[in-house]
A and B are shown apart, each in its own frame.
Chain A
């Protein structure tokens, strides 16, 4: 009876994983299929990957994506950490309100955020292009940084900063030498999450990008509209693997930080 139950449980889990990962698995398989028709298997090939790397427009989209992810995560980490420090000095009720306000963009539908940005940039007559995408990415990344850094900062011993001052450190030196290293694990994981979100994003980028500026996700979308090229399978597969690796990394950083924190207690 019990073993039968166990078999059912396993089957259930297996079904969930199949439904979740079958499309992606299919995509990855197709990216190695030498036949242009998706109906049948024409043998294993790396041609699509090869032509991907020689395509200049895709190379440019790749550079844009990485540059956007890097810049937006670094800037949002700086802004987000500064916000955390200010917010934790507030009393409880204004802090709760501010936290709520920063969380809304995270829960808001991307399409609404994207259209709002487009409207804003139109109203302000800002030329659409790399800068507008960057501004939008920074904005939606900040909440992720705050969400990561806030708990770590709040459990920080407030006397650490005072102890540094007491030992002769200037306020700036005390912050960079004592407070920052203590919250660094949270800043790193927040930054990695922001990086992932930026690579991942399509909708907001789509509405804030001007003509001619592409990231990988908007590039795939525009190619798909014209009729699918197998290179796009290869590209999608690579984005999936990259994001997966980043997510694993994000999850490992706080785990290490926690173990560190527990030792201290």
Chain B
């Protein structure tokens, strides 16, 4: 198993009486790409700032390699941050920005020059040493910000929505770049974003947060395929999120219609939530499915078509490469494996999130 590097030990934080983090407990292992994912105001940036040392938790402690660093100032921590708006020093050129941390550590001149060249090569900006940072594009400024952080050889690189200000194409390119850099540098990345696609693409582990709580932790696959509650299911990807009755092991009913599933152990006749991904909803000929409905909407999405099907007043969303015209009567079939059964939310907070949508 990998070494434990960081442990956020039961952290709580509130501003002006408003709770931002509530008893957050999180372990990050060496050489992992961990993403904190959640809507704005969920506490993910605060978590990052506590780790970087810009905020002090009200309760709990920050453990780094077994050492309590809760009260250590940011300039004494072996972490470096890439800020959302880059925070480059605009009165310095690219090389001086990158050398900032190394100059403080009083590294020899030749070492600094080598490091600058190495970092610029890594971020694909070789030859930009003497350029003023104000003349660079957003993507280039972002790369300088990353170079400025990594030359210090931090144990952990903290990234606060670093791609938020870039356009879609550039963002996708930078996602691959970041994965490549992470593999090349073999350091731990802690990444904060509200973009679920970004999280799924890059992470080894995703931590889904909402209202100061961790909703679910796990690999991108497990978060996507086996969401633990309605919030996670709704936040990650499109989904059909329905209330259902867990009749008995391996059988649920949605609005009275029976659907075989693979889950067991939820009891009998118990209300649950279920999630079915739109790509797992198969539209089949009438008489060959589990329930019948009428296609009410058809949208071309590029890779696939999105169809809305009205089944006794409940709207199902289906994705398919085959279009199905509006007005057609169709049956719906779902493979038992593709029905994810979840307990009803225990807290009112989670419920509130659902009704907001």
**Complex Cα distance A16/B135, Å?**
43
Within 8 A of B (CB), among A151-179: 157, 159-160, 162-171, 173-174, 177-178
- Expressed in whole angstroms, the Cα–Cα distance for A260 and B104 within the complex equals 27
Q: How far is the CB of A65 from chain B (nearest CB, A)?
A: 33
Partner of B87, one of A157, A168, A184: A157
Is the CB of B305 closer than 8 A to any CB of chain A? no
Interface membership of B152, Cβ < 8 A: yes
State which residues 41-63 of A face B: CB under 8 Å.
Answer: none
Q: Are B73 and A165 in contact (CB under 8 A)?
A: yes
Evaluate contact between A168 and B75: CB separation under 8 angstroms. Answer: yes
- Flag if B85 contacts A164 (CB, 8 Å): no
Residues A160 and B87 in contact, CB atoms below 8 Å apart: yes
Confirm or deny: B148 has a beta carbon within 8 angstroms of a beta carbon on chain A.
yes
Cβ proximity bits B57-96 to A, threshold 8 Å, 1 near / 0 not: 0000000000000000111000111011101111100000
Give the Cβ gap from A185 to chain B, nearest Cβ, in Å.
10
0/1 string, A247-260, CB within 8 A of B gives 1: 00000000000001
Q: Is B54 an interface residue (CB 8 A)?
A: yes
B75 & A170 in contact (Cβ 8 Å cutoff): yes
Q: What residues on A are CB-neighbors of B152 within 8 Å?
A: 167-168
| B52 part of interface (Cβ distance < 8 Å) | yes
Instruction: Assess the B100–A164 pair: CB atoms within 8 A.
Output: yes
Q: Is residue A264 within 8 Å, beta carbon to beta carbon, of the partner chain?
A: yes
B105 at the interface (CB under 8 A from A): yes
Known: A157-B87, A159-B83, A263-B134. A166 touches B105 (CB 8 A): no
Residue of B whose beta carbon sits closest to that of A159? B87
Asked if residues B134 and A173 are in contact (CB atoms below 8 Å), the reply is: no
Alpha-carbon separation in the docked complex, A164 to B90 (Å): 13
Contact of B148 among A167, A171, A263 (CB under 8 A): A167
**A residues contacting the other copy or chain, number (CB 8 A):** 23
**Is residue A181 within 8 Å, beta carbon to beta carbon, of the partner chain?**
yes
Which residues of A have CB within 8 Å of B79? 166
A182 within 8 A of B: yes
The closest CB in chain B to the CB of A260 belongs to B134
User: Which residues between 161 and 217 of chain A lie within 8 Å of chain B, taking CB atoms?
Assistant: 162-171, 173-174, 177-178, 181-182, 184
Docked-complex contact A263 and B135, CB < 8 angstroms: yes
A167 touches B100 (CB 8 A): yes
Known: A181-B91, A260-B134. A168 touches B83 (CB 8 A): no
Contact of B74 among A166, A177, A181, A184 (CB under 8 A): A166
The answer to whether B104 touches A162, judged by C-beta atoms less than 8 angstroms apart, is no
A165 touches B134 (CB 8 A): no
* B85 proximity list for chain A (CB < 8 A): 157, 159
Partner of A162, one of B87, B88, B100: B87
Contact in complex: B91, A182 (CB < 8 Å) = yes
B101 interface residue (CB < 8 Å to A): yes
Could you count the A-B residue pairs with CB atoms below 8 Å apart for me: how many are there?
A: 71
Q: Report chain B residues within 8 Å CB of A181.
A: 89, 91
Complex CA distance for A165 and B149, rounded to whole angstroms: 12
Q: Are A169 and B89 in touch, CB under 8 angstroms? A: no
Q: In the complex, how many angstroms separate the beta carbon of A216 from the nearest chain B beta carbon? A: 37
Chain B residues near A160: list those with CB within 8 A.
Answer: 87-89
Interface members, chain B 113-169 (any A CB < 8 Å) = 132, 134-135, 148-149, 152
The answer on a CB contact under 8 Å between B135 and A162 is no
Q: How far is the CB of B179 from chain A (nearest CB, A)?
A: 23
Knowing A167-B80, A167-B104, the reply to whether A264 touches B90 (Cβ < 8 A) is yes
**Which residues 224-265 of A sit at the B interface, judged by CB distance below 8 A?**
260, 263-264
State whether B104 touches A178 (Cβ < 8 A).
no
The answer to whether A163 touches B87 (Cβ under 8 A) is yes
CB within 8 Å for A162 and B74 given contacts A169-B104, A263-B134, A263-B135: yes
In the bound complex, how far is the Cα of B79 from the Cα of A263, in angstroms? 31
| Closest chain A CB from B73 CB (angstroms) | 7
Say yes or no: B104 contacts A168, CB within 8 Å: yes
Q: What A residues does B101 contact at CB under 8 A?
A: 167-168
Which residues A107-137 have CB closer than 8 A to chain B? none
User: Which B residues between 4 and 60 are near A, CB-CB below 8 angstroms?
Assistant: 52-54
CA distance A256 to B75 in the complex (A): 33
Of the candidates A159, A163, A165, A260, the one having the most CB atoms from chain B within 10 angstroms of its own CB is A163
CA distance A165 to B74 in the complex (A): 6
Per-residue contact bits, chain B 97-118, to A (CB 8 Å; 1 contact, 0 not): 0001100110000000000000
> Is the beta-carbon distance between B83 and A163 smaller than 8 angstroms?
yes
Please, how many angstroms separate the alpha-carbon atoms of A168 and B54 in the complex? 13
Chain B residues with CB under 8 Å of chain A are: 52-54, 73-75, 79-81, 83-85, 87-91, 100-101, 104-105, 132, 134-135, 148-149, 152
Q: List 16 A-B contacts (CB under 8 A).
A: A162-B52, A163-B83, A163-B148, A167-B75, A167-B100, A167-B104, A167-B149, A167-B152, A168-B105, A178-B89, A182-B90, A182-B91, A184-B91, A263-B132, A263-B134, A264-B134
For the complex of A and B, the 7 pairs showing the least CB-CB separation, nearest first, are A167-B101, A159-B87, A163-B87, A263-B134, A264-B134, A181-B91, A165-B74
- Not counting A165-B53, A167-B152, A178-B89, a sample of 18 additional A-B residue pairs whose C-beta atoms are within 8 angstroms of each other reads A157-B85, A157-B87, A159-B87, A160-B88, A163-B88, A163-B148, A165-B54, A165-B73, A167-B75, A167-B148, A167-B149, A169-B100, A170-B75, A181-B89, A260-B90, A263-B134, A264-B90, A264-B134
